Amino acid sequence: MSRRRPTPSPATKRSATRRAFPIIAWILPAVFLLVAAAVIATRGRNHGIARSPTGDFAPTVPAPLAASGEPPPGMEWIPGGEFSMGCRDPRGIAHGGPDAMADARPIHRVRVDGFWMDRTEVTNAQFAAFVSATDYVTVAEQAPRAEDFPAAPPERLVAGSIVFTPPPERAPLGDHYQWWNYVPGADWRHPAGPGSDISGHDDDPVVHIAYADAEAFAAWAGKRLPTEAEWEFAARGGLTGALYPWGGDFRPAGKWAANTWQGDFPGNNTRDDGYEGLAPVAMFPPNAYGLFDMSGNVWEWCSDWYRPDTYVADGAPPGAIIHNPSGPAESFDPREPGQAKRVQRGGSYLCSEQYCARYLVGTRGKGEVSSATNHIGFRCVKRGP
């Protein structure tokens, strides 16, 4: 049997409204508080990044696969799993810098298998052991060949590398020739050129490393260079959409978390983080996977060719999960279309929010494969069980 609800009279409505008012007065603030708490909780889980309406950063899901056997010396187990790869436009956020970082979008879903990764950037001592065992000669130690540089005068075909040389005064940030110089005699043993050396710097990351040098070391060590996806998965340390390998604050608890640049780039380095140039490896806390200096100190080579549209051109439909991506078949950088470039990740001690905020974990860098400088190094990975 159903009972028809009587139509209330205006007086009854007013009476009901008066009765309901205390309830409304109680419910509305409660709903507001619940919504506010949910927003705060969501921001907490995403380490300072508010979710966009598209919800493009989905939770990182580490794989359950555990490491088996003894860890290789100096390496950490990275479990692999699913994560959202890329970076939102960081302009406007604190320390986000002036670059839209368009080459790091769309943010997309990737799965990588588990692997071992060097805990630190490869050091001078480690590279010296490789050279001692193999008599390897780096690209920077070899004179450029005339057939590769037909327009260069013979006196310019001398071995050397590119060294950061800060100008005495403020320089326009659009002209990097103001602070990069090709220095004859600069190489991994002489980071600033002839007259400099690495004595006492065994634990500094090795620099002036061209891509072929990094590959040669990795092969000798029974390792390989990471793919860009492996590198970013490892750098994120299991966090979801975080700005940095350690979370959402550039300086957690007021402490420096990476070796970057403070002061007016490129002429005034205030070295507030304790280091004007290179820091020995592992001077700042590791991320949750036990990896040091994934942000800052030296750039790290990855095995992928660089294209600014890699994430667009992978052709994956929306929602697809790309498994172990290894990058495009060939390099193309519209800014320097004739140069073959590989991906570099993590930024360096020269990264500044004024100029290059690529200490942000999802951002991408690139380098011409034969060009070494005194802020480019690498670390290796090794396939796991």
Footprint on this chain of Ca ion (rule: CB under 5 A): 259, 273, 275, 293, 297, 346, 349
In this structure, what token pair is assigned to residue 348? 């360096």
CB of 166 to Ca ion, least distance (A): 13
CB of 221 to Ca ion, least distance (A): 18
By beta-carbon proximity to Ca ion, the closer residue of 141 and 234 is: 234
CB 362 within 8 A of CB 108: no
Report the distance separating Cα 369 and Cα 228, nearest Å: 15
Beta bridge mates, 109: 84, 321
CB of 291 to Ca ion, least distance (A): 9
Report the distance separating Cα 87 and Cα 81, nearest Å: 18
CB of 120 to Ca ion, least distance (A): 9
- Neighbouring C-beta atoms of residue 218, cutoff 10 Å: 23
Report the distance separating Cα 134 and Cα 244, nearest Å: 37
By beta-carbon proximity to Ca ion, the closer residue of 185 and 211 is: 211
Beta bridge mates, 305: 342
Tell the residue number behind the tokens 């800014």, with chain if given. Answer: 335
By beta-carbon proximity to Ca ion, the closer residue of 185 and 292 is: 292
CB of 379 to Ca ion, least distance (A): 8
CB 217 within 8 A of CB 224: no
By beta-carbon proximity to Ca ion, the closer residue of 110 and 279 is: 279
Identify the CA nearest to 158 among candidates 132, 125, 134, 194: 194
Identify the CA nearest to 86 among candidates 100, 76, 72, 98: 100
CB of 365 to Ca ion, least distance (A): 11
By beta-carbon proximity to Ca ion, the closer residue of 185 and 306 is: 306
Give burial (CB, 10 Å; 0-12/13-18/19+) of 382: middle
